[in-house]
Structure 1
Amino acid sequence: MRIVVTGANGFLGLHTRTRLLLTRPDDVVVPVGRAQWEALPDLLCDADAVLHLAGYNRGDDADLADGNTALAEELVRALEAARATPTVVYAGSTYVDEGHWGADSPYATGKRRAGDVLRAWGERAGAAVREVRFTGLFGEHGRPHYNSFVATFAHLVATGGTPKIVGDRELPLLHVQDAAAALLAAMDTDEVSTTGGSEPIRPPGRPTLISEVAQRFTHMHRIYAPVGEIPALTGEFDVHLFNTLRAAMWPQAYPLRPVPRSDQRGTLVETIRVHGGTGQAFVSSTNPGFTRGDHVHLHKIERFQVLSGTGLIRLRRVLSDEVLEFRVTGDEPAVIDMPTHWTHSIENIGDDELVTSFWTNELFDPDRPDTYPLPVLTGRDRPTSAAS
């Protein structure tokens, strides 16, 4: 498929493009940000689907009410100019639902009108238009003071601040990767049940007190930050919050430094301590000049610790060119936890065998490995055939 993604550089756009890259590598993804907007009619030619994620969620009342509507109108004009009738999936908001506390806000007004504009075009053009209405989205790499209060709280806790809660209330929260999965399911029309092709799809969020998010981040950071002790992760929501916090701490907080304990017998360094949950630990040996890894995870927490030899750990965020490097040796204990959405590898750059300890927070499941081959250094964002 040829898939055009508007708002491609935003929070939801980047997560959706990452999911497309890793789960649908044969599709052609055309990212459209502000710099490409004027070329939209040309980019829409031969498109099979459009994921319309561009929008305003901050600004004055006019921006919120009129900006989202204008973007939908511009998309329709571009579709008509290109004479294209792809499936259009639109990222809406539960704010527009009747009875929602924000239903009369300028933001809800703009999102409601944008949906009406796209559905009207679909009826005229005989094209499928599907709206996915999202509740509060959160996850890795959200912008503090912009994308959500969750991103703000994670940033504050990661940098030594304290979240301030004004008007504590329960809000439904949805991890951004679950939102991306819902968009792709909506794009594949045979996987979605709708009423007359127009009933909005509403991925459910997890009802969560604002104060609960602050408390969990604070608790996780208190356990994790000193030496890398993994907090109790009792469910998927905890894992999502922990990954969000780790992303806010990355890379300034790393490597983590476990405390060596020595006596006349030698030295003991704790590789991993977990307050709760399950996990898997293993050790590998790597010959000089060889590299392991070159893969990326969407959810899995993975820890590297070199026990002997000298290794170079490289990481690159998906859809980015910048490569970070950490030189680690068995002589100076260091722990580095691989952030989600960063492809990573470890190369033996020494003259002796490299022995590395690995840990993940879940047992390996061949049916759901959450391990996507992707080189760090070569063939940018072109998945390889198998993980190392």
Structure 2
Amino acid sequence: MKIAITGGHGFLGWHTASRLRALSGVDAVRLGREHFADPQRLATSLAGVDAVLHLAGVNRAGSDEEVEQGNVALARELAKALRREGRPIDVVYANSVQAELDNPYGRGKAAAAAELAAVVQASGGHLADLLLPNLFGEHGRPAYNSFVATFAHEVAAGRRPTVTGDREVPLLHAQDAARELLDSVGRTERRTVEAEPRAISEVLTLLEEAHTLYATRGEIPPLPGRFEVNLFNTYRAAAFPAMWPLSPQVHSDNRGDLFETVRSHGGTGQSFVSTTLPGQMRGDHYHLHKVERFFVLKGEAEIRLRRLLHDEVVTFRLSGERPSFVDMPTLWVHDIRNVGSSELVTMFWADQLLDPDNPDQYPEKVALP
């Protein structure tokens, strides 16, 4: 199935395209502002597409009118392109729970849904209209995507945000939103996606507690549930790559050296050790949820990471002469190579026990062809 994603380079678009590649091996047709600025280019991009996930939207602008009409205009341009195709194309619309409220953003999102419903119904396709709550996750833009993104970046930078007007906010991780969107392809439905209500102050407290443990010592905070793991991964994305690598305190005496590799405050975990011969490499994969640590104990290693669907590679050089470690952020492809002349000994730790039927590990090369 060929799927196009409008807003494909934005926050939710990137998460959705990444999930589609991980679980289906399919690369989405990612449509951005340049496509909506050129009707012919937009129409051409839809050739052969089976479904469109319409995630593009306007939630910040110079005026309320721009917010409202901006969302309608995007839907209208997409509707024109779909009409030109003259065949059934399924559409999944990333609507908002605010579509049921009388505010500029809500009115714009609701009107956009009506524009899409008319053209999809006329062509014989299916429209899934999903009302999404507040989203958070890795690589959200601070002061734009959500207060969680703002808090995560501020806390990771060592600053202390303040909470005004504390209240409970329904929150949904972007990967869970992506799952709902992809699962709705081919359906005709309108539904509100469930979320987990969390107080704004609670989110900030969890981020600050994680930072206290993680930023200087690399200790893993308590991760009692899926929400805490997702929030921790959001914080880790904001902290990467500036905080790496870390080196533990080494205790030495006449017997040798002793140092701690992982201290996890609650939850499950699994450790294992590998040896790697000179010139050999391990990895070339990524994870959607797993927290993973590479700790070089002996030898010379090069760790490379590349954010999925991006080109830039981040490289770290680690040596057993000074034992140190780097944690792998979610949705970053990574590998580790022995660049020395002797055996490389590496300890790996993950926050979850390996499930052979669902290992949360997806093959992808760091180095692009």
**Whole-angstrom distance in 2 between the partners of 1:47 and 1:104:** 34
Equivalent residue letter for 2:145: N
SS at match of 2:190: coil
Aligned residue in 2 for 1:142: 140
Structure 1: state its 5+ residue gaps.
98-102, 190-196, 380-388
Matches within 5 A, 1:285-296: 285-296=275-286
Aligned residue in 2 for 1:71: 74
Equivalent in 50, 53, 57 of residue 52 of structure 2: 50
**Whole-angstrom distance in 2 between the partners of 1:79 and 1:357:** 52
Aligned residue in 2 for 1:89: 92
CA contact (8 A) 1:44 1:84 kept: no
**Whole-angstrom distance in 1 between the partners of 2:288 and 2:155:** 23
Deviations 1:236-262 (A, max 9, x none): 111001000010100011112211111
Equivalent in 161, 179, 190 of residue 200 of structure 1: 190
Give 1:123 deviation, angstroms: 2.1
Aligned residue in 2 for 1:386: none
SS at match of 2:347: strand
SS at match of 2:359: coil
Matches within 5 A, 1:336-375: 336-375=326-365
Matches within 5 A, 1:82-121: 82-97=85-100, 103-121=101-119
**Whole-angstrom distance in 1 between the partners of 2:82 and 2:16:** 22
Equivalent in 72, 80, 83 of residue 80 of structure 1: 83
CA contact (8 A) 1:150 1:213 kept: yes
1:12 counterpart = 2:12: yes
Give 1:124 deviation, angstroms: 1.8
**Whole-angstrom distance in 1 between the partners of 2:183 and 2:66:** 30
**Whole-angstrom distance in 2 between the partners of 1:29 and 1:321:** 17
Aligned residue in 1 for 2:21: 21
Equivalent residue letter for 2:104: P
Structure 2: state its 5+ residue gaps.
none
Give 1:84 deviation, angstroms: 3.6
Aligned residue in 2 for 1:271: 261
SS at match of 2:217: coil
CA contact (8 A) 2:51 2:90 kept: yes
Deviations 1:22-52 (A, max 9, x none): 1111x35211111233211111122100000
CA contact (8 A) 1:46 1:84 kept: no
Aligned residue in 1 for 2:127: 129
**Whole-angstrom distance in 1 between the partners of 2:291 and 2:28:** 27
Deviations 1:182-236 (A, max 9, x none): 00000143xxxxxxx3x41322110100000010000110011111011111011
Identity over aligned residues, as a percent?
Answer: 51
**Whole-angstrom distance in 1 between the partners of 2:186 and 2:226:** 25
Aligned residue in 2 for 1:181: 179
SS at match of 2:324: coil
CA contact (8 A) 1:45 1:84 kept: no
**Whole-angstrom distance in 2 between the partners of 1:36 and 1:310:** 46
Equivalent residue letter for 2:308: V
CA contact (8 A) 1:42 1:82 kept: no
**Whole-angstrom distance in 2 between the partners of 1:84 and 1:125:** 6
Equivalent residue letter for 2:49: A
Aligned residue in 2 for 1:3: 3
Aligned residue in 2 for 1:384: none
Equivalent residue letter for 1:228: G
Q: TM-score, normalised by structure 2?
A: 0.97
Equivalent residue letter for 2:54: H
Deviations 1:303-329 (A, max 9, x none): 001110101000001011111111101
Please provide the CA RMSD for this pair.
Answer: 1.0
**Whole-angstrom distance in 2 between the partners of 1:325 and 1:36:** 34
Aligned residue in 2 for 1:155: 153
**Whole-angstrom distance in 2 between the partners of 1:36 and 1:366:** 41
SS at match of 1:225: helix
Q: 1:318 to 1:279 in 2, by over 3 A?
A: same
